[in-house]
Homo-oligomer: A and B are copies of this chain.
Amino acid sequence: MTVVMDAAQMNAFLGKVFLEVADEFRVEEVTETGVTLRLLVQNRHLRPGGTVSGPAMFGLADVAAYMVTLAHIGPRALAVTTNCSIDFMRKPAAGVDLLAYGRLLKLGKTLSVSDVLIYSEGTDKPVARASLTYAIPPAGVDLPHA
């Protein structure tokens, strides 16, 4: 499927509409097969023992699925997650960022379905997998901050 935004455009979009999280996430790469999103791991993401928390991994999967949807439909601020299934499979490595690889499986008029694999940077076994459904708002009713 053709992509209509590149990494720089997606990072600029995140900075505008998700100011709250823009310093946590950075789109690394956008290709026709998917989007790579980095979680810039900070103290607030950690649980006892120095491991990244479940909610932080959920948030990473969520933004990755959002980004891979936007890569194909262009900037829309109001898309909302309606469903997520996530498996936590391994403990993230301490002291490194997490990288999420999101892939768009379906792009309908009102819904998108994506899946995401999350890795500790520098390792080759996924720490988590997720699949997510997004409700896509009608074109024209979005981008309140743009």
Contact of A55 among B56, B88, B144 (CB under 8 A): B56
- Cβ of A95 within 8 Å of any chain B Cβ, yes or no, is no
- Complex Cα distance, B86 from A113, in Å, reads 11
- Cβ of A23 within 8 Å of any chain B Cβ, yes or no, is no
- Cβ of A83 within 8 Å of any chain B Cβ, yes or no, is yes
- Complex Cα distance, B53 from A79, in Å, reads 13
Is A83 within 8 A of B86, CB to CB?
Answer: yes
Is A106 within 8 A of B84, CB to CB?
Answer: no
- Complex Cα distance, B85 from A81, in Å, reads 12
- Cβ of A89 within 8 Å of any chain B Cβ, yes or no, is yes
Leading 7 A-B pairs by shortest Cβ distance: A85-B85, A55-B59, A89-B106, A58-B58, A55-B55, A83-B87, A87-B113
